[in-house]
C-alpha cells in the first residue's frame, strides 16, 4: 500500500508536467477509435475502447511504471487485477494495469483541483479513492480465491472418479472443467487445452500450478505428476486431499469470523485521518495552510504518516495468519 501511495504522488507529478501530452494522446486514441467505427460501418462500443486501453496502456506513464514494477507490493496488487480481469475475459499485463492506475490518479487529481482549486484536497481525494480501489480489489480477489478453494474438493473427487473410469489426464481435466464453474473450471479447461495443443503433461501441470498458486491444489498436482510417471490409483489420494482442503476451508472461515472486528477497526483507523483532513480543508479554506507551510508542520506531518504506516504494517502482521 505504501508504494502505491508513492505512485500516486509520482503520477500526480507526471500529470502536472505531462498533462497536455496525455490529453493529446487520449485525443489521438479517441480519433483512431472513431475512424475505426466509421470504417466498420458502426459505432465504437465502450468494451472495445476498454479492450484497447487494456492492450496498449498509457505510453506517458511507461517509464515510471518500469521503475515502480520493481516494488513487490505493487506487482502483487496489479497481478490481482490482471487475474480478476482475465476471469472476466480481458487479457492484459501488470505493466498496463499500473499505467491505467496512474492515469486514473492523474485524472482524479486534475478534476478535483479544477473544481476546488486546492491541491491538498485533490491529493487526499486521490489517495482516498486509491484506498477504496485497493479495498475493492482485495475483497474481489479474496472472494475469487475463496470460491476457487471451495471448488477444489469436489473437483478432486470428480477427477478421482474419471481416473477410475479409465480417462486420461487430458480427458479428465476436460470432463471436470465442464462440470465446474469458474474460476477453477477455467483453469482446468486451460490445462486440458495445453495438453491437447502439444504440451507435455508436466509442462501443463506446472503451468496450472503457476497460474493458480494455491497451496490446497499443489499437493494434488504433485500427485498427478507422480501418477503420470509411475502409474497407480489416485482415487484414495485425491479423496484424502479433498478432505484436507475441506478442513482448511473450515479453519479459514473460523479465523475470518474471529478477526472481522479487528480488521474493520484497522480500516477505519487507516482511512479516518484522510477523511478528516479532506473535510476540514473543504469546510474551512486555509484552515490547515499554516500547518503545511511551516517546517514544524511538515515534520509533524512526516511523523504522523510514518506512524500511520507503521500501524498499518503491525496490524497486518498481527492479523495475518499463514495456513500454508
Domains of the chain: total: 3
Q: Do the Cβ atoms of 159 and 172 come closer than 8 Å? A: yes
Query: Could you say which of 95, 114, 133 is where a domain stops?
Result: 114
What's the pLDDT score for residue 161?
87
Query: Could you say which of 234, 257, 280 is where a domain stops?
Result: 257
What's the pLDDT score for residue 321?
52
In a domain, 138, yes or no: no
| Residues 217 and 156 grouped into a single domain | yes
What's the pLDDT score for residue 1?
47
What's the pLDDT score for residue 5?
46
| Residues 223 and 248 grouped into a single domain | yes
In a domain, 128, yes or no: no
Contacts of 253 (CB under 8 A, 6+ apart): none
Q: Residue 316 pLDDT > 80, yes or no?
A: no
Q: What is the pLDDT of residues 153-200, one digit of tens each?
A: 888 888 888 888 888 888 888 999 888 888 888 888 888 999 988 888
| Residues 3 and 108 grouped into a single domain | yes
What's the pLDDT score for residue 279?
79
Q: Do the Cβ atoms of 153 and 243 come closer than 8 Å? A: yes
Nearest alpha-carbon partner for 273 in 293, 288, 295, 289: 288
Query: How far apart are alpha carbons 256 and 273 in whole angstroms?
Result: 26
Nearest alpha-carbon partner for 259 in 200, 310, 321: 321
Q: Residue 128 pLDDT > 70, yes or no?
A: yes
- CA distances to 87, 155, 252, 271 from 142, rounded to whole Å, are 14, 20, 12, 20
In a domain, 98, yes or no: yes
Rg value, the chain, Cα? 24
| Residues 243 and 263 grouped into a single domain | no
| Residues 308 and 199 grouped into a single domain | no
In a domain, 120, yes or no: no
| Residues 164 and 268 grouped into a single domain | no
Q: How many residues does the chain have?
A: 324
In a domain, 95, yes or no: yes
Least confident among 13-17, 115-119, 128-132, 304-308: 13-17
Q: Residue 270 in 3-state DSSP? A: helix
Query: How far apart are alpha carbons 181 and 158 in whole angstroms?
Result: 13
| Residues 98 and 150 grouped into a single domain | no
Query: Could you say which of 200, 235, 257 is where a domain stops?
Result: 257
In a domain, 308, yes or no: yes
Range of the domain at 214: 144-257
In a domain, 126, yes or no: no
Q: Do the Cβ atoms of 57 and 96 come closer than 8 Å? A: yes
b/e string for 136-174 if b means 16 or more Cβ within 10 A?
eeeeebeebbeebbebbbbbbbbbbbbbeeebebbbbbb
| Residues 152 and 249 grouped into a single domain | yes
What's the pLDDT score for residue 225?
80
| Residues 318 and 253 grouped into a single domain | no
Query: How far apart are alpha carbons 261 and 51 in whole angstroms?
Result: 39
In a domain, 130, yes or no: no
Amino acid at each position: 500500500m505504501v508504494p502505491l501511495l508513492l505512485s500516486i504522488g509520482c503520477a500526480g507529478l507526471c500529470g502536472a508536467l505531462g498533462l497536455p501530452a496525455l490529453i493529446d494522446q487520449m485525443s489521438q486514441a479517441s480519433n483512431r477509435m472513431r475512424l475505426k467505427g466509421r470504417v466498420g460501418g458502426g459505432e465504437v462500443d465502450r468494451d472495445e475502447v476498454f479492450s484497447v486501453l487494456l492492450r496498449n496502456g498509457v505510453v506517458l506513464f511507461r517509464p515510471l511504471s518500469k521503475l515502480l514494477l520493481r516494488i513487490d507490493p505493487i506487482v502483487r496488487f496489479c497481478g490481482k487485477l490482471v487475474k480478476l480481469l482475465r476471469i472476466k475475459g480481458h487479457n492484459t499485463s501488470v505493466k498496463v494495469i499500473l499505467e491505467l492506475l496512474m492515469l486514473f490518479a492523474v485524472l482524479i487529481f486534475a478534476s478535483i483541483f479544477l473544481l476546488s482549486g486546492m491541491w491538498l484536497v485533490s491529493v487526499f481525494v486521490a489517495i482516498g479513492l486509491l484506498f477504496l480501489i485497493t479495498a475493492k480489489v482485495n475483497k474481489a480477489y479474496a472472494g475469487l480465491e475463496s470460491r476457487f478453494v471451495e471448488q477444489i474438493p469436489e473437483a478432486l473427487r470428480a477427477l478421482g472418479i474419471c481416473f477410475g473410469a479409465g480417462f486420461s489426464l487430458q480427458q479428465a481435466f476436460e470432463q471436470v472443467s465442464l462440470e465446474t464453474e469458474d474460476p477453477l473450471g477455467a483453469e482446468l479447461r486451460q490445462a486440458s487445452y495445453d495438453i491437447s495443443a502439444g504440451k507435455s503433461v508436466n509442462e501443463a501441470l506446472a503451468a496450472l500450478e503457476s497460474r493458480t498458486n494455491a497451496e490446497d491444489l499443489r499437493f494434488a498436482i504433485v500427485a498427478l505428476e507422480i501418477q503420470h510417471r509411475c502409474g497407480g490409483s489416485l482415487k484414495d489420494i485425491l479423496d484424502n486431499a479433498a478432505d484436507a482442503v475441506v478442513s482448511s476451508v473450515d479453519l479459514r472461515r473460523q479465523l475470518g469470523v474471529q478477526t472481522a472486528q479487528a480488521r474493520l477497526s484497522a480500516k477505519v483507523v487507516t482511512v479516518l485521518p484522510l477523511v478528516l483532513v479532506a473535510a476540514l480543508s473543504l469546510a474551512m479554506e486555509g484552515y490547515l495552510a499554516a500547518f503545511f507551510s511551516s517546517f514544524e508542520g511538515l515534520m509533524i506531518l512526516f511523523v504522523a504518516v510514518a506512524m500511520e504506516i507503521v500501524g498499518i504494517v503491525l496490524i497486518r502482521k498481527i492479523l495475518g495468519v499463514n495456513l500454508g
